[in-house]
Every structure is written in structure tokens, then in C-alpha cells.
Chain A
Amino acid sequence: MFVDFFYHLRGYGLKVTITEWLSLMKALAIGHSRADLHVFYNLARCLMVKREADFDNYDRAFASFFMGVENHFDISDELLEWLSKPELPRELTDEERAKLEALDLDELRERFKELLDEQKERHDGGNRWIGTGGMSPFGHGGEHPTGVRIGGSGGGRSAVQVATDRRFRNLRSDRILDTRQIGLALRRLRKLDKDEGPEELDIDETIDSSARNAGEIDLVFRPPKRNRIKLLLLIDVGGSMDPHTLLCERLFSAAHKANHFKKFEFKFFHNCVYENLYTDISRWKGEATSQILKRLDHTWSVCLVGDAWMSPYELTHTGGAIDYYHTNQVTGLDWLRKFRDRCPNSIWLNPEPRRIWNAPTIHLIRQVFPMFELTIDGLTEGIDVLRGIRPNRALAA
């Protein structure tokens, strides 16, 4: 049963390891679950789920596993059975096997039995039980001494019910982000390298060198390290992007505040990039795209933000630009390719969820730039592409 739970959790995408799972077995055996599914819920979570972003997945896994069986799931019986016939998850590494042996199952089993016997004789008090504050761990308000106590500490609601509340849904990392989260993601965009400029005193080296020099002070200098990343942020504003204004604003303000870029520039566009890009959101002041392209080279990264949702001719036809008085000589798609050719380390962030990326223009753009969702996970993946630690893959044409 416990092994099933382990695989069930993994099935929900939780990266539970055997070491963590063995910790849970040990905690149960020394009496931590108090045979209460509520306590078990928290115990299993604090030992096996290490990110609050995964809490929601855990809740769903827990609810679906215990739904329907919660009334006849007896933790103590299950544990006794497991301790006498330890069934293990497959494929144990040597290290894990060693950990299991260190656990000394026989001793644990004896201790657990003792705990149970002791409990059958005495129904109250008992400070051998951790964290109970002197309460009787077993049989609290129930008839069977080892029965699962449901609803005890949770205010009349079962652990499964609490899990189905999905209180941690807001902490999922695939949700949209706030400024600080974006700022943190952008921090990943740090590539430290030796830089020119005034040298700094290297204290550790100085001490080492002085020591080797029989105590005569020998000062050592070294060039400082600086971030090399140059980022151009291009944001789609207006039209279908209006619902995403707040999100884009947050990305913008986080990028603007991040002071670790060697160079940072931003421009705005409407639907697609043409011969002019704008320096303000209202798109009054502009700069020729060709001028901007001249400033760029392969050391720059370009990050485009937009829903890539437009009429196909806006992308593929000359004169297709959305603004009526604007006749473009070069197609939008060609402008995008120019950016890509100039700066191969470039990505497109889409505030729309991936499941609705089905417009033909989205498909075309994904052949030019790798596209990511504007969520924590998407941004992190995208930034890994910019840093060159994840392969830069656009769709095959």
C-alpha cells in the first residue's frame, strides 16, 4: 500500500526519491502519524514534497489515492504489515540499499509493536508520542484503538476533504507571475565573465602569496567579473495584448530594475515587427528597425513578448501591417528572421497558454523563434535557451 502511494505520487509528477520515502517509513514507525490521516497528510508532505509549487499536485494525488478508502485505511496495520514484509520500490541503488539497512527494520518493528501494546493498555496521556501535547494518540474519540481518526485536528473535515480543497492552487508555478518572480527568473540571466576595467585586490591570493613569501606582504590583483548579457526586450502592445497588459508591465518593470545586464534595451511593437519600433507604449516615438539591427550582434539576446495572434497576411505579405496608413515593404516574417539571424540567441514569450497556440501565425513564428509560455516555468526554460544551456530549437519548417 505504501509503495503504491510512492508510485502514485510519482505518477503525479512529484519527484519523490526512495531516500525520502524511507524517512517517511521511519517517521511512521517511531510514532509520528498517530494513526491519523490528517497527520499523515502533513507528515508525508513535509518529508516528500519540497516546493510549495508542488503542493497542489500533492493534494490532487493524495485525494485521488485516499478517496473512498479513507474510512478503512488503517495506517498502523499497513505499517506493521510493511515492516514485517518490507516491499520496496524497484531499482534500489547501492546508496539507497545502505540507507535501508541503516534503518534496521527489525528494531523499528519491535518499537512500533511496543508502542501499540502500550497504547492498548493506556488510553490517555503518554508523552512518548511526539507532538501530541499529552493527548492520546490512538483511539481519540473512537472505539478501535488503532483506527484511523478522521477529522480530529482538521476541525471536522477529513484529510481527503482538506486535500480536495486545493488550497495551494495559487502557488503552482505554471500560473502567471508577479514582478518579483520575474525578477528572480531574470536573475538566472547572469553569465559572469572576466571583464576589462580596474583590477580588484584579491585578498585570498594576497594572503597565500604573502605566506609563501615568508610573511612579506605581496599584493595580488585580478580583473573583476561582470555580467556579459545584453538583452533587447520587444513587447507587443495594444489590440489582442490588452488583457495581458499587467503581466507585460510586470515583466518590463522587473527587467528594467534588474541591474545585472551589461546592456538592456526595450522597444514596443503592434502585432508584428516592421521597419519601425517604438520607444513608448503609445507608439508615438519610433526608431528605424534597421538602425536597431545595426547595433545588435550575436552577443545580444532578443526576447519578444506577444501573443503572435494576427491575420496571416500581417506576417507574410508586404503591405500587410495592421495599421491602415502603414505600407510595409518587407514582410513581418522577414523582419523577424532578420532579428533571428543577427542574434541567434533569441526567444519568443507568449502570455497565452500553450494549449491555445493554434493560430497559423503562431506556427509560422515558432519556425523562427523557440516559443515559451510567459509563466515561471516557461520563462525559466526560455532563459536557459538564452544562456545556451538548453538547445535552441525552433519548429521545423
Chain B
Amino acid sequence: MSFHAFTGTDTYLASPELRDSVNVASALEKPLLVRGEPGTGKTVLAEAIAENLVMELLTWNIKSTSKAQEGLYVYDTVQRLNDARFGDRDITDISQYIKYGPLGESFLKDQRVVLLIDEIDKADMEFPNDLLHELDRMSFFVHETGQHHAARFRPIVVITSNNEKELPDAFLRRCVFHYIAFPDKAEMEDIIRVHHPDVEDELLRQVLLRFYWLRDLPELRKKPSTSELIDWIAALRRGGVSTDSIEGELPFLGVLMKRENDLEAVMAAHRRGRVN
């Protein structure tokens, strides 16, 4: 058996641990469950895997109303009813009313694909349990047509969760689990250089200093994430803010902090910091 090893891409820097987790999940054909703070690159991981291994990416965005069945297929009864009433089409062929969802589609492909099940914890508590069988066997049955579909090439399944809900044990047992920790300063520097290759060293140093100081403030309700930091640097550079003024004040703070309370808390802490 030979494996395609995931190594990360030019724009997605994967830690050695993350690479190992992805490759284990891929080799054991188990879903990879990825958790971590918002903005740590959980969703982008699936795109990076697809790009790196040159596979097609199918995405299933989970909403609070999502049902497991929709991921496999939906039987469009309304369309069939409509056709029956107006006699537009031959309605005896039921298979034309079976619409496959991302999960079902990923099983039907004739090569290995990457399937992203994004934010699984948004759905109902029971949702992950409803997927157990399909994820285990990678096959499903279409009752309306009596057809049984089994995956010829088991997709690489990446599942992301924001930890909004505790996931059921039975579901967790079947997954390979990876927690993406928030990047430390050195890792963050690498990440920023990917997005802003020509950023000045001094600006980067000052910005990181401020950013991690901000994240450590206990009174913040929502900590700024990587994507907000990248936006902040873009704003600072476009605004032509000098390194000195970042030291003295915090320009364009609105890019980092989205809540008024947090903004006030930061300003207050900043004033305290300068007095001390």
C-alpha cells in the first residue's frame, strides 16, 4: 500500500503533529475531527489537504437545521408530485428525483476525494450519532430505489467543531482527533509572513507584542484571532501607520475587536499600562 503524505502547502503551514494526524486518519480511513479556537485554520485545513494531495474537495456546511439524511440524499417528492400533476415528465423513474448530498456524493466518486463536514456542532445533539453507520461503513441505502451504494474510494473526511456542543462518545471513538492550539509568537510570525511577505521586521515585532498582550487580557469576551490579526496588519500598512505610533497608541483597533465592551476594556487596560 502506498500513501500520499500530506505535507502542508505554501500558504498553509501545518505543524508536524497536524501532518501526522492527517496522515494517520487518511491511512486508517477514519474521519479526522479538528477542534480549536475560531480562526486557527480548521476549515482551511481541508482545502489545504485537497490542494496538497490533488483531490477534489466536497464541502458540507452544517446548519442548526441540518439532518444527517440530507448529507446522503434527498428524495424530491415535491418535484415528483408536481411532475405528476402536470404530466411534464415520466415519473416512474424515481432515481431522477434522488438528489445526492455531499456525503453521498463523496461515496459515489470514482477517485478519492476530501470531504469537509464543517462545524458539525452547529446541528442538533443527535446529528453526529445519525452519521455513525455511514462514516464507519462508508455506504448507504436508498430506500426509494432499493439501491445500495458503497464507497469504492473512501474519502478523507475532515470534520470541524467549535466545541459549541459536546459530541457523543460513540462518535468520538470513531474519529482521529486533533486540537489546533492557538499559534505561539514564532509560529504566528511564519503565518503572517505567508500573508504579508514584505512586512517590516520592526512593525511585525511591535504588532505581535501588542496582539499577544491583548489576547492575555482576562476581561475580553472574544479574543482576536489570526485572521483578524492579518487584517489588522493590512490596515496598519495601508494606513501608513508608523511603528512608533503602534508603540504609543493602538490604531484601527476596530479591526481586531468587534465588540464595544471589549474595545472599551482594551482602551482602559491600555491607559493603565501607560500610567504604570
Stretch at the interface among B17-25, B53-61, B97-105: B17-25
Whether the Cβ atoms of A43 and B20 lie closer than 8 Å is: yes
Knowing A30-B1, A46-B177, A207-B77 are in contact, say whether A246-B20 is a contact too (CB < 8 A): no
For the complex, give the distance between the alpha carbons of A27 and B84 in Å.
53
In the assembled complex, the CB of B140 is this many whole angstroms from the nearest CB of chain A, namely 20
Contacts of B25 in A (CB 8 A): 46
- Judge whether A30 and B172 touch: CB under 8 Å: no
Question: Provided the pairs A42-B20, A184-B165 are in contact, do residues A130 and B27 lie with their beta carbons within 8 angstroms?
Answer: yes
Question: B178 near A50 (CB under 8 angstroms)?
Answer: no
* Chain A neighbourhood of B78, CB < 8 A: 207
For residue A51, give the distance in angstroms from its CB to the closest CB of chain B. 7
B85 engages A39 (CB within 8 Å)? no
Q: Are A131 and B5 in contact (CB under 8 A)?
A: yes
Let me know if B164 is at the binding interface, CB within 8 A.
yes
- When the two chains form their complex, are residues A131 and B23 in contact, meaning their CB atoms are under 8 A apart? yes
Q: Hey, which chain A residues are within 8 Å of B5, CB to CB?
A: 127, 130-133
Q: Least Cβ distance of A213 to chain B in Å?
A: 10
Does B27 contact A32, Cβ atoms closer than 8 Å?
Answer: yes
User: Nearest Cβ in chain B — how far from A281, in angstroms?
Assistant: 16
Residues of A within 8 A of B177 (CB): 45-47, 49-51
- Tell yes or no: B2 within 8 A of A by CB: yes
Are A130 and B85 within 8 A (Cβ)?
A: no
Beyond the given A46-B177, A50-B173, A130-B23, please list 15 additional residue pairs across the A-B interface where CB-CB is below 8 A. Answer: A20-B173, A32-B24, A42-B21, A46-B21, A46-B25, A49-B177, A51-B172, A51-B177, A52-B179, A131-B6, A131-B24, A167-B181, A184-B163, A215-B84, A246-B218
* A212 CB to nearest chain B CB (Å): 12
- Return the contact of A215 from the options B22, B81, B176 (Cβ within 8 A): B81
Q: Nearest Cβ distance between residue A135 and chain B, in whole angstroms?
A: 10
Cα A8 to Cα B212 in complex, Å, equals 37
Q: Does B154 contact A (CB under 8 A)?
A: no
By size class, the interface of chain A is: 35 or more
B172–A43 CB distance below 8 A:
no
A-B residue pairs in contact (CB < 8 Å), sample of 11: A20-B173, A32-B20, A43-B20, A45-B177, A47-B177, A55-B179, A131-B23, A153-B16, A184-B164, A184-B165, A215-B85
Selected interface stretch from B28-36, B202-210, B245-253: B28-36
Kindly list chain A residues whose C-beta atoms are within 8 Å of the C-beta of B271.
Answer: none
Q: In chain A, residues 24-47, which have Cβ atoms closer than 8 Å to a Cβ of chain B?
A: 26-27, 30, 32, 39, 42-43, 45-47
Q: Is the CB of A210 within 8 A of B81?
A: yes
Given A15-B169, A42-B21 in contact, is the A30-B27 Cβ separation under 8 Å? yes
Is B219 positioned at the interface, with any CB of A under 8 Å from its CB?
Answer: yes
Are B28 and A26 in touch, CB under 8 angstroms? Answer: yes
B196 at interface, CB cutoff 8 A: no
Shortest Cβ gap from A57 to chain B (Å):
14
Q: How far is the CA of A168 from the CA of B30 in the complex (A)?
A: 25
Sort A-B residue pairs by CB-CB distance and give the 7 closest, nearest first.
A131-B23, A50-B172, A52-B179, A50-B177, A46-B21, A130-B23, A42-B17
B7: Cβ under 8 A from any A Cβ: yes
From A20, A39, A184, give the contact of B20 (CB < 8 A): A39
Bound-state CA distance A47–B85 (Å) is 54
Given the known interface contacts A17-B173, A32-B23, the answer about A46 and B28 at a Cβ–Cβ threshold of 8 Å is no
